[in-house]
Amino acid sequence: MENTEHISRIKNSRAFWHVLFWIGFLVVYAVPYCSLEGDCVIMIFDILILMPVKMAAVYLTIYLLLPHYLLRKKYTYFFGLFFMSAIIFGLVHRVLQFFIIGPMYYPETYMGWYFWNWSHLLYGVLNIYTIVAVATAIKLLKQSYENQRQTQQLANEKLEAELKLLKAQIHPHFLFNTLNNLYALALEQSGSTAEGILKLSNLLDYMLYECNVPMIALDKEIKLIDNYIELEKLRYGQRLDVDFRVSGNPSGKRIAPMLILPFVENSFKHGSSTKLARTKIRIDLEVGVNAIDLEVENARTNQVTQDTQGYSEGIGLKNVRRRLDLLYPGRYSLEINESETTFRIRLNLEL
């Protein structure tokens, strides 16, 4: 295990890839020379002697000229320094050839060389900046990949933060409306107040400790809806007519937590007006193999109950619609139909 981790650290280090790059450079340049007639060892030493010049040109370009001038659009400084460094590196390359490589490896032909041989000087510059071009292309590709990765990471973090905010808005919204229910029971001096507090405690336990995960079992969400309906029944008693049906097999299915409840809560909030002699709410949840089909319908009046804190549809349905956009993009359809007497919501969601 320790050896594996050590090897992994080496592979992830910058030095490892730099060494690999220069080994690759040596192999690519040496193989054509060694395939020709002549001493392969001399050719390799020739390349090694000139390699520091190429390395200096590469690192000057990718770590100074590229990030500080070219990428910051300081083109005058970049091209000025680039051509100046190219001349200097070309001269150093020529000095090494003329004063070290020539006398050491080619003593017979060296006497006929001229230092100011412009074709040789130009060849040296091209020889250096061929490898500079390759290294720069790799650097730019790597930087482009890192920029895309960071952009994607920032986008993911932004979406995650927005989802957390949307989920956090649900809790006080739900708590406010439920406390209103308990308050109404208390005003009526109902014997169901204690039972309502107990059910609210169970619901809050679920919201605080069980639904802080990206996905949760669909069975638990259905149980949450059952508990919420029972809590509402304590308030409205015989005046409440709720038909909640679940078809299909929810076992093994997973869904984003607190995604269905806002639709159910909205039906109670806007369908339980005191103007109605009897509150009728229908909730159908059809569970398919890879999708669910939810339909919630409630009776309504022209006068919709408004709360005093602004916890209206802006936090309810708009909140859940935004969560659907973030969590299930292109995988859901939401229809909202209103008439003078009914309000109907239909959600089709691919799990």
Same domain, 108 and 221: no
| Domain closes at, from 116, 147, 166 | 116
Res. 309: pLDDT tops 50? no
Q: Which amino acid is at 66?
A: L
Q: Which amino acid is at 96?
A: L
* pLDDT number for residue 294: 93
Mean pLDDT of 135-155: 82
Q: Length of the chain, please?
A: 351
Q: Who wins on pLDDT, 117 or 76?
A: 76
| List of E strands, 2-99 | none
CATH number at residue 181: 3.30.565.10
Mean pLDDT of 54-76: 91
Q: Which amino acid is at 47?
A: I
| Domain closes at, from 64, 88, 116 | 116
Q: Say if residue 171 is exposed, middle or buried (CB neighbours under 10 Å; 0-12, 13-18, 19+).
A: middle
Same domain, 108 and 187: no
pLDDT tens digits along 27-62: 877 776 666 555 677 777 888 888 899 999 999 999
Same domain, 272 and 211: yes
* pLDDT number for residue 306: 46
* pLDDT number for residue 301: 61
Residue 131 CA from chain centroid, whole number: 36
Q: Who wins on pLDDT, 151 or 1?
A: 151
Most confident of 31-40, 212-221, 270-279: 212-221
| Domain closes at, from 116, 138, 164 | 116
Give Dmax over CA atoms of the chain in angstroms: 116
Of 336, 293, 333, the residue nearest 317 (C-alpha): 336
Res. 144: pLDDT tops 70? yes
Q: Who wins on pLDDT, 172 or 230?
A: 230
Alpha helices in 188-332 (DSSP H): 193-205, 218-236, 261-271, 317-327
* pLDDT number for residue 279: 74
* pLDDT number for residue 305: 47
Copy the structure tokens of residue 116: 């100011």
Copy the structure tokens of residue 187: 């005003």
Same domain, 260 and 331: yes
Res. 293: pLDDT tops 90? yes
How many domains does the chain fold into? Answer: 2
Query: Which region holds residue 252: left if phi is over 0, alpha if psi is between -120 and 50, else beta?
Result: left
- Label residue 94 by pLDDT band (50, 70, 90): confident
Could you tell me the residue range of the domain that residue 279 belongs to?
A: 156-350
- Give, for 255, the enclosing helix (H) or strand (E): strand 254-255
- Phi and psi torsions of 264, nearest 5°: -65, -45
280/344 Cα distance (integer angstroms): 12
Position 177 in a domain: yes
- DSSP secondary-structure letter at 67? I
Same domain, 102 and 177: no
pLDDT tens digits along 130-141: 999 999 999 889
pLDDT tens digits along 180-209: 666 666 666 555 666 667 767 777 777 766
Q: Who wins on pLDDT, 342 or 184?
A: 342
244/10 Cα distance (integer angstroms): 60
267/147 Cα distance (integer angstroms): 46
Most confident of 72-86, 135-149, 232-246: 72-86
Mean pLDDT of 15-22: 86
